[in-house]
Structure 1
Amino acid sequence: MWAMRLLLALLLAATLYVASLVLFPVEHIVVIGNKHLKTEDILARTQLHVGEPWLWIRSDRLQGLRRDPWVAEARLEKPRIGEVRLILREREPFLPLTDGNALATDGTVLPGGARMAKGPQVEGQGPLPVQDLLALARAYPEATRLRYTPAGFWVETPQGVAFAPEARLLVKYAQAGAPKGRVYLYSWGVSVSP
């Protein structure tokens, strides 16, 4: 008797599974919030296609998309039977780098983002001091170029150039206004030349 019940339960489960594959297909996929990434690429990465079973689509399909540096946030919604909605928030390119990449406002390096970045051009030697550059760009919104070397940081504005061996000195100096002429900041004092 228990064998018959088990067989009926398995048969019912198999029938429900097959019905879920056929009765509720994905009819419409909407991607919202993408500016840089192409919709076709997003759908390929998530492996979402019209016609596949709507009931079996889960948010774990977004894992590959979330690893993309351009994607700050990705969410999957199923508002109605047959409809799937992907909602993205892409990172904004902020500081253009000389290699064609850009720093986002959160410090993530965005491949190929330099042409879309609106901040000052970044040039330098050595490891990229991400947090220092972001702090300088925010402290000097009128800056046209930021440079860094092992010796220190330079901020170029239309009015002048400021140098300091540490970014924090330049950030502190920004409260006094944009540099006029050549300004050299050190922990023991300031040197200004026209």
Structure 2
Amino acid sequence: MSKSNFKDGIEINENQNGLLKVNEDVLATIIKNETITNVYDVEDTPFARGKFAAVRRCTHKATGVAYAAKCIRKRRRLQDQRSDILHEVAVLLTASTSDRIVRLYEVYETHNEMAIVLELAKGGELQRLVEAEDGLEEAHAVQVMRHILEALVFLHSRNIAHLDLKPQNILLSTDDPDTDIKLCDFGISRVV
């Protein structure tokens, strides 16, 4: 597998099957060793919750711009999860040139938690449209599928398998059903 599949400073972690790792020089430029609340106002109530993470709306204190903060505990079941979290960061960095993948902005790290600051998809999850009374019109469904496939082609060209593709991990950029679609949640993705 070619290293050109990944951004500079990202490579396959030989010690862990299918995970990417970010070298220390790159990590030093993207991880801030402070609490996210020093820079952002973070809402208490998550708007999305996964098995190991909670996603909260946050607003940059200086600019007023809204983002999504994926907050992940670094230890689960007495095991260190930092390399798994950094794998997700590496995938997001690798996918930073794709318009079909949610954008990574910053990462904050404390002793207990990492907070990944991401683009806020104001339209929410595709699940919302699927469950709506009218559902998706055929023309919108075609566009949604096209955008999903564009994202998958991008990922697969870099030998990355998402492995958790579902309506909750497909986001709408705006409230308009005709909006751009973006994939999120690369926590269990792997390099194949």
Structure 1 length as normaliser, TM-score? 0.24
Q: Which has the higher contact order (CA 8 A, sep 6+)?
A: 2
**Greater share of helix residues, 1 or 2?**
1
